[in-house]
Amino acid sequence: MPVTMDTKDLAFQQPKAGAPKDYRTPILVRLWKEAFGYLLLLPALAIILGLNLYPTVYGIFTSFTDQSLLDPNHFNLVGLANYFKLFADPIFRLSFLHSIELTASAVLLQVLFGLILAHLLIQRVPGIQIFRSLAMVSWVLPIITAVVIFRFFTLPNYGFFNLLLTKVGLSQWTRNWFGDENFAFLLVLIMHLWRNIPFYAIAFMAAMQAIPQDLYEAARIDGATRWHRFIFVTLPNLRYIILVMVVLHVTFTFNNFDFVYLSTGGGPVNATEVLPTYIYKQAWSGYALGYASAGGVVMLVVLVILVMICRRVIGGYETQ
């Protein structure tokens, strides 16, 4: 007996036009599709690991040896001897103290003067665009150029500062500024400020421009003065960018080698010696590669702790 089927049943069994087709993708194909993006990242990841992870791990290993640049292929494991010697060295302790002082004072003053300069640059006055462009000149100049400018200004006999002091009758104040242990560290700090304050100012100015003007109008209607508007409106909206800039420049300043080495070399009489220059001298002048690596590991630990503290503060702010 022939089997008949209703047209409704046929319509029910046939897939509708445009309906998604249910195909089971083989597991290897799915894994390939998911892993393809990671495979594209492998070359960059290999370069990053090769240039960062390997030297770091090897440097940590070297810090436990007596390896010397005079005979780098022969060395012995000495355990923590390099670290005990490091913390017993008064010059290392002095360098560590200088690094902390320079980092703290430079970052705090850069934030302060950066806020002041940003407040000036955000004003709507004729020609302000020119001043905004000129403000970045000191930051875009290479560090060696900044050091040469400052050394030229502070030459003992023909420097601008000494000539100016002589003209105004203060010749007793003329001196070799970078050669004076009482002023050399201050000049290094001033070079950091001269270079980095414009960068702070531009970053703060961009953040200020993003603050809604309605907040200032509401505060003005409530009778808030300019100082109150700055404290209760501007600063709360700048907290995140301030913390980001602090993280960046704590790392940069604590790890900075160029300013000190190019201007004073750590002198006079270790007055400007910081950890990067101290470690450099131990490795390339004293040939004590293992000992210098121990100093580098201490720097790494300190930087990681500082960055973790800053990240925790930023994370707490984002949670709020």
> Residue 199 corresponds to which tokens in the numbers above?
């960068």
CA dihedral of residues 216, 222, 227, 231 (deg, nearest 10):
-70
| CA angle, residues 282, 288, 293, in degrees to nearest 5 | 75
User: pLDDT tens for residues 62-83?
Assistant: 999 999 988 888 889 998 999 9
108 CA to centre of own chain: 14
Q: Give one word for 89, left, alpha or beta, with left for phi > 0 and alpha for psi -120 to 50.
A: beta
Cβ atoms within 10 Å of 114's Cβ, excluding its own: 24
SS3 of the chain: helix, strand, coil, percent, to 5: 70, 0, 25
Helix or strand (DSSP H, E) at 320? none
Helix or strand (DSSP H, E) at 14? none
Helix or strand (DSSP H, E) at 51? none
> Residue 154 corresponds to which tokens in the numbers above?
């502070």
**pLDDT classification of 11: cutoffs 50, 70, 90:** very low
Return the pLDDT at 19: 46
**Residue 54 to residues 9, 46, 287, Cα–Cα distance (Å):** 68, 10, 21
Asked if residue 246 lies in contact with residue 260, where contact means CB atoms within 8 angstroms, the answer is no
Is it the case that residue 316 has pLDDT exceeding 70? Answer: no
CA atoms within 13 A on the CB side of 115: 16
For range 96-105, the mean pLDDT: 93
Q: Crossing angle, helix 90-121 and helix 81-88, to 10 degrees?
A: 70
DSSP state of 68: B
Residue with tokens 């900044």: 146
Q: What is the largest CA-CA distance in the chain?
A: 128
Residue with tokens 């309605």: 214
Asked if residue 294 lies in contact with residue 59, where contact means CB atoms within 8 angstroms, the answer is no
For range 182-204, the mean pLDDT: 93
Alpha-carbon dihedral sign for residues 284, 289, 295, 301: positive
**pLDDT classification of 187: cutoffs 50, 70, 90:** very high
Backbone angles phi, psi at 288, to 5 degrees: -90, 85
Is it the case that residue 315 has pLDDT exceeding 80? Answer: no
Return the pLDDT at 2: 47
164 CA to centre of own chain: 36
DSSP state of 268: S
**pLDDT classification of 55: cutoffs 50, 70, 90:** confident
For range 33-48, the mean pLDDT: 81
Asked if residue 156 lies in contact with residue 175, where contact means CB atoms within 8 angstroms, the answer is yes
Is it the case that residue 24 has pLDDT exceeding 60? Answer: no
Is it the case that residue 168 has pLDDT exceeding 70? Answer: yes
Tell me which residue of 155, 158, 108, 104 sits closest to 263, measured CA to CA.
155
Cα–Cα distance between 157 and 193 in angstroms, integer? 25
Asked if residue 250 lies in contact with residue 103, where contact means CB atoms within 8 angstroms, the answer is yes
Tell me which residue of 106, 117, 317 sits closest to 208, measured CA to CA.
117
Quote the percentage of the chain above a pLDDT of 90.
40
